[in-house]
Structure 1
Amino acid sequence: MLSALVSFAVRLLLAVATVVLVLALMGVALVTMLGLMIWSLVRGRKPVVDLSGFARARRFRAGSGSKRAPVGEVVDVEVREVRPEQARLEP
């Protein structure tokens, strides 16, 4: 009975500590973002919020990639043997 109570208390303590840590990290990220935006405004530049990555992710569907037009005829590279004395480039 006592070990179950201690185990529950430890689990509750770890859960609360995890929630506090996540909220603290989100707070640090928010303060950093606001600080950078204010620094940008102080320097006379408009803060740029680029959300194009989210729009691309919304349009993306796995397996439904766009069909590309054929590039054209593929030409193989001609093979040429290089002897060791010719391998070095001279300036």
Structure 2
Amino acid sequence: MSALFTFITRVIFALVTVVLVLCLMGVAIVTMIGLVIWSLLRGRKPVLDTSRFTRARSFRAGPRGAAAKPMGEVIDVEVREVPDKLPPQP
């Protein structure tokens, strides 16, 4: 009896979760359509910025566990003090 109650509860929670996700997706779609219509009414062409997808697609991670390549020789830089005001030019 307890197992049946647990199963029914899980099925109900799964269905509620699916309905919630579908409702949120519906709200997102209606919002996007509204924004596109609003921009068209104002005379502006909607712009889809896909540059992030292009950058993500071009990113290639190395194989797992592979050692990082050395960056090259490290060059030290001499520190010098920069005066607050420049001396007057002649």
Q: TM-score, normalised by structure 1?
A: 0.68
What displacement does 1:79 show?
6.0
Give the structure 2 partner of residue 27 of structure 1.
26
Tell me the equivalent position of 1:77.
79
Amino acid paired to 1:62: A
Q: Any unmatched runs of 5+ in structure 2?
A: 64-71, 83-90
Query: Match of 1:19, as an amino acid?
Result: V
Identify the residue that residue 8 of structure 1 maps to in structure 2: 7
For 2:59 and 2:44, locate their aligned partners in 1 and report how far apart those are by CA, in whole Å. 32
Offset of residue 51 of structure 1: 1.2
| Distance (whole Å) between structure 2 residues aligned to residue 76 and residue 10 of structure 1 | 70
Q: Secondary structure at the match of 1:45?
A: coil
In the TM superposition, residue 52 of structure 1 has moved relative to its aligned partner by 1.6
CA RMSD of aligned residues (A): 2.4
How high is the sequence identity, in percent, across the aligned residues?
Answer: 62
Question: How many equivalent residue pairs?
Answer: 72
1: CA distance, partners of 2:57 / 2:25: 24
Q: Which runs of 5+ in 1 are unaligned?
A: 65-69, 81-91
Question: TM-score with structure 2 length normalisation?
Answer: 0.69
